[in-house]
């Protein structure tokens, strides 16, 4: 029996478009995340890894969409191939099956290292840009994702626990990291008020 072709697509923020990834590539089912690839703590990635079975092929646009860190990339590919799932990267034109030769393994490591290096460069340039803007008095910090009223509504809905945090993040158009930041800021404010 031939397995399914399962697609995984990822962009870093909710306002980025997933459209170009796997465009025209036939897949039976697709999982999508709109969060950073800095680690593997991604809801749809976890769902995808739990869904694929022996004989399936996981299809990804490029290695950096699966992971931005070499250790995570190697671990995911190794776990999948050990249970009989092939991993195909369209942009790099590479497929891993678990029966890969030394050269294929080297390519995976090199491309994964480049993705990790690229992420480090992005963060470095971002810090340098912020430092220059601060020195010139132009840096005002990141624009708030939610108005004060929306932030208060979000905190109230989180406290009510009637909707999952992932669903709330999607509804409010923010990442889960941003949702947690809003919740933490309210907790810190409350703690300061109690101590005063």
pLDDT of residue 133: 78
Instruction: Output the DSSP codes for 56-115.
Output: -EEEES-HHHH-SSHHHHHHHHHHHHHTT-EEEETTTTEEE-S---HHHHHHHHHHHHHH
What would the pLDDT profile of 75-122 be if each residue is shown by its tens digit?
Answer: 999 999 999 999 999 998 999 998 877 777 787 778 777 777 877 787
Catalytic pick among 12, 36, 62, 104? 12
In whole numbers, what is the pLDDT of the chain averaged over residues? 85
Higher pLDDT, 75 or 138: 75
Which residue reads 């891993």 in tokens?
96
pLDDT of residue 66: 93
> Is 125's pLDDT higher than 90?
no
Q: Quick one: average pLDDT of 52-81?
A: 92
**Structural class in CATH, domain 5-111:** alpha beta
Distance CA 101, CA 23 (A): 29
**Is 78 an active-site residue?**
no
Q: Quick one: average pLDDT of 59-68?
A: 91
């Amino acid at each position: 029996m031939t397995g399914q072709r399962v697609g995984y697509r990822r962009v870093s923020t909710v306002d980025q478009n997933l459209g170009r990834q796997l465009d025209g590539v036939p897949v039976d089912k697709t999982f999508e995340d709109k969060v950073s690839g800095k680690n593997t703590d991604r809801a749809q990635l976890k769902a995808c890894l739990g869904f694929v079975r022996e004989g399936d092929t996981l299809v990804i646009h490029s290695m950096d969409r699966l992971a931005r860190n070499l250790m995570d990339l190697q671990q995911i590919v190794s776990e999948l191939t050990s249970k009989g799932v092939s991993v195909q990267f369209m942009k790099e034109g590479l497929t891993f099956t678990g029966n890969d030769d030394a050269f294929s393994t080297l390519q995976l490591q090199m491309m994964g290292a480049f993705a990790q290096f690229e992420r480090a460069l992005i963060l470095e340039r971002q810090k340098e840009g912020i430092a220059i803007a601060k020195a010139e008095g132009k840096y005002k910090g990141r624009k708030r994702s939610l108005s004060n009223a929306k932030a208060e509504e979000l905190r109230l809905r989180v406290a009510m626990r009637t909707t999952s945090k992932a669903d709330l993040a999607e509804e409010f158009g923010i990442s889960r990291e941003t949702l947690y930041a809003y919740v933490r800021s309210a907790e810190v404010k409350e703690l300061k008020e109690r101590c005063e």
